[in-house]
Structure 1
């Protein structure tokens, strides 16, 4: 296969912007280098020998290195003994050369003024900052005895100090923002994985359980009632098609379910499992999101009956009031095998709790020795909860585009948290 670029379009490598931390560091380096160059040019104008010039260059280079490599990175060590040692070294580098270069060096303490704002505590930092500015004004007075020069040096030191402080903080903040964006991206990926796993369980678990049950039924009917077995095979084909459609929608996001269709399917599947079903449904047209949540609860409830019990009777009740709608599934709970470990997690019920909470509803479980009751209640007015709707990560919800992943709790009628069993 031959790959070529379309003429007139540049590759992503040519058009991609520089990473933010690198760009910020470039801007800071350019500004600090300009300030340092001004100080070095002042020294060059003095009648000094090459050794003095080399010494001034070394001092300026050391100040630049400290500012970029130490203060330009929020490494958490600025207020440690090592950090105070670096600050003391900077004090020596900005004050001692004044003895050799005089007025030409009075602009360099601006680096120190910015550094004390980064290292020292608030009140101490600003007091020290003021003392540095005052010391440069005094030094300028000693050199020229001109009030205008004192004012100029004071303003220059204040400006340089604030610029150094602001740009040093800018670099650290840009790095923090970059790291936060990476963390948000990781959270988005995790949320999408959770959504995928939850939808895969909720949408396909029921279909696969129904297919398995009906295949067993067909196997028993093959010789006794071929026509009934043929009818069951047609239902298996229809369920398989629905499962295929569900599998395709899992990758794309939220799927809407029809409560009426799920009711008919539940009655059919439970009847095929020799379970007596009583369906009492009394509701008007429900909002799509409410209908989907109730249909999902019905699916999971029927799936749990088929997987985890040998129930003989099941009552399904659906009601709608002025403010909310609810579904209740009750079956005689004849558990399969030994009792479940109460410390293990039932993913299906936890998923249902999350779905109900996303639209402001609730899920309750009442588990007695011979009875299992699953009840979900959701509000009809969803305006306040629309932003929490289950959807692929990255779609608008929270301002950062990544909704928090709620953790559901199952509670019984007495308000106690119910331990889940494994699905």
Structure 2
């Protein structure tokens, strides 16, 4: 209806104004290109242009005037179409930029929450274990309880520093230091540790990601199992590196979710590994054993999303008291 009304406004005044109105049908030609799909717009556009050539021939009969009117109608129609289309594209671009900005904010919030979980999981577990131990020691062993309180303060300050490091920037983790810390923590918790290091130098991002997997795996052993033995293998192959952790005492949790695999920790690891073209697999084995396997390619390529792999402090995590099996 709008095009029909515009056509009437374009053609009917030609009966009154004649030559003075011949430039107006170019706007109708542009509107046709904008409103209709290509299969209908192109024939109607050609029809409008041809009609103006015929009308100009009726008005003056000059070949030059016919050519001028025809060309000017084509140019006016294309200009109207181009400028209108450009305006629409600019509006779409602004809307896309706003959406990208919102997605960037949401992604940063997700990254911050993920890094806080991965970085502070061990520290918070240590604080919980030490606090419970202190509450049991304070009556009969006040000196030992004071030592544990001092250790809790140290861990708390370290956790605060780690939170600041998450907000301030990205840092790398040392795989060798994390291996040493894992052995120290597990042995302190009365867990027998067998850790095999079968790797050489590797890209920093891969080393950081392996350290992250190791840290989360040890945290899960302490929080979700009553482990007495934990076997850890970090093996480097020609094009990839693999870390495998197997521990006992990992009974299936109520509700059928083995070892808490539905939690955010392993899900975060899976997302990190996927960003580096790696894979994460977990399996509940016989005799209440649990296995975690992560494989990462050794290619010197950046993650697909362009993100760094981990926001963390350079210091490895440590704590010094025994683990309590009642804390899960």
* Alpha-carbon distance in structure 2 between the residues aligned to 1:285 and 1:219: 45
Aligned Cα root-mean-square deviation (Å): 2.7
Aligned: 1:187 with 2:111:
no
> Which of 261, 267, 272 is the matching residue for 1:355?
272
Mind listing any 5+ residue stretches in structure 1 that lack a counterpart? Answer: 1-84, 393-422
* Alpha-carbon distance in structure 1 between the residues aligned to 2:41 and 2:177: 71
Is contact 2:250-2:290 (8 Å) kept?
Answer: no
* Alpha-carbon distance in structure 2 between the residues aligned to 1:330 and 1:123: 65
* Alpha-carbon distance in structure 2 between the residues aligned to 1:230 and 1:381: 49
Is contact 1:309-1:336 (8 Å) kept?
Answer: no
- Count of residue pairs brought into register by the alignment: 309
Alignment of 1:337-416 (within 5 A): 338-341=254-257, 345-369=262-286, 370-383=288-301, 385=303, 388-390=306-308
> Which of 172, 192, 200 is the matching residue for 2:116?
200
* Alpha-carbon distance in structure 1 between the residues aligned to 2:205 and 2:110: 20
When structure 1 is superposed on structure 2, of 368-377 and 121-130 the one drifting more is 121-130
* Alpha-carbon distance in structure 2 between the residues aligned to 1:235 and 1:285: 34
Aligned: 1:177 with 2:98:
no
Tell me by how many angstroms 1:297 deviates: 1.0
Is contact 1:314-1:332 (8 Å) kept?
Answer: yes
* Alpha-carbon distance in structure 1 between the residues aligned to 2:32 and 2:93: 24
Alignment of 1:8-407 (within 5 A): 85-220=1-136, 235-335=151-251, 338-341=254-257, 345-369=262-286, 370-383=288-301, 385=303, 388-390=306-308
Mind listing any 5+ residue stretches in structure 2 that lack a counterpart? Answer: 311-327
Is contact 1:309-1:333 (8 Å) kept?
Answer: yes
Cα distance change on mapping 1:391 and 1:162 into 2, 3 Å: farther
Cα distance change on mapping 1:222 and 1:261 into 2, 3 Å: farther
When structure 1 is superposed on structure 2, of 202-211 and 281-290 the one drifting more is 281-290
Q: Deviations over 1:356-395 (max 9, x none)?
A: 1222221111113511011112122222647633379xxx
Scaled by the length of structure 2, the TM-score of the pair is 0.84
Scaled by the length of structure 1, the TM-score of the pair is 0.66
* Counterpart residue number, 1:8: none
Q: Deviations over 1:220-241 (max 9, x none)?
A: 5567777766665565454334
Tell me by how many angstroms 1:208 deviates: 0.7
Cα distance change on mapping 1:322 and 1:217 into 2, 3 Å: farther
Tell me by how many angstroms 1:214 deviates: 2.8
Is contact 1:329-1:375 (8 Å) kept?
Answer: yes
* Counterpart residue number, 1:77: none
